[in-house]
Amino acid sequence: MPQAIEPFFTEITGGAFADLTQAEVTFHNLLSAVIGGTLFGWGLMIGLMSYRLMKVPEDWIWSVITISVLAWYVLDTLGSLLASSSLNILLNTTILILALPPIIANRKAVVNGFRDLS
């Protein structure tokens, strides 16, 4: 079990690592790899789109970033609530709080045509 996700697993299962079969550990590792790769790709896409947004004020880019971040937060946090994972809810909320100021600032910049950034 990767140490970075161990607290989340312990919170949900009560720490029943010894009870996992090798097949369950392998499946868990597969899911972690797939989800990690997907989140990395999504984060990279948002970063590249944000870079483009700073060069050219295209409203659709801001909309895509905002909708995808909000959709992630709602769905992931709802899943965390259903799984009783307060650690993941805290992590999601922290990430959202960090993401909101640039999203709001970029919206103002898009509306103003980036005049305020020169």
For position 16, what pLDDT does the model report?
Answer: 66
Any idea which residue has 């948002």 for tokens?
Answer: 46
Mean pLDDT computed over every residue of the chain: 83
Whether the CB-CB separation of 73 and 96 falls below 8 Å is answered with yes
Q: Please, which pLDDT band fits residue 2 given cuts at 50, 70 and 90?
A: low
Distances, alpha carbon 115 to alpha carbons 16, 37, 54, 69, 101, in Å: 56, 37, 11, 26, 18
pLDDT tens digits, 30-88:
888 899 899 999 989 988 988 887 787 788 888 888 999 999 999 999 999 998 889 99
Domain boundaries, the chain: 6-117
Q: Is the pLDDT of residue 118 over 50?
A: no
For position 106, what pLDDT does the model report?
Answer: 78
